[in-house]
A = this chain, B = another copy of it.
């Protein structure tokens, strides 16, 4: 039931991405092909769906915030294309398919990432004026998004991740890393939709809390899947964290204990939504799903 609903939303986001991204055949073609390859790679589209859900909760149609939702997914895709590069995580496969630099070469993969990030801000700006969304609201979103994915946010998390490879770090350091690398983008996705919907500050606080724990639960489940997942379903080699000597929730406390922490995070997510009515039900199901998923 949840998966079918999510699938409909995923297709809706994919259509919007096709509409809002610069067409694949634009000149110079190679860069636009690489950008589309990096985006249309079988992603779950969790983050753009959160943008839509944030807007819904504030009483605005998800349709109104599609440019912002697409921009968030473009940022997520750029970060994956850059993270996969030989100089970073050096991954050849993502979701079972060759990574962007494997297909288009390193230079084009770097430039495609740069162009997705740039295009994302262009698209964020274009959300102004849609059904009364104000220029002030959009500028606020641009600032929040830039801060969330910048050197003190998502990029900072990748820096910490690279710096910690081959070292053992403690739980606090691992939490900081996860929060920056994964949590910040989930958090700002919900926040962006809610801001454009005109959500009140108390509601915003609750959604930020949800996003934070959603991101953490997501990351712990990733850690668990890395040791116990099915390679054909996850699309990535099992045991790569151990191979890369990465500290994870599983290496720190074992899979069973990590699963408990993830479940506690989901409880925090549900608690954060207690002030919302049934319109938050999809977010409730998303939180439960995140630790049930097998990929």
Contact = CB atoms under 8 A, between A and B. Distances in A.
**Highest count of chain B CB atoms <10 Å: which of A82, A88, A117, A118:** A118
A110 B122 contact: no
Given A22-B150, A78-B114, 7 more contacts: A28-B163, A85-B110, A87-B106, A87-B107, A118-B150, A126-B143, A138-B139
A152 B147 CA distance: 25
19 contacts: A28-B151, A28-B160, A30-B163, A31-B155, A31-B156, A82-B111, A82-B114, A85-B110, A87-B110, A88-B107, A88-B110, A107-B162, A111-B155, A111-B158, A115-B151, A118-B155, A122-B143, A128-B139, A142-B142
A27 interface: yes
Q: How many copies does the complex hold?
A: 2
A31 B136 CA distance: 30
A60 interface: no
How many chain A residues sit at the interface, stated as a range, is 35 or more
Interface in A61-95: 78, 82, 85, 87-88
Contact of A150 (B122, B135, B158): B122
B114 A142 contact: no
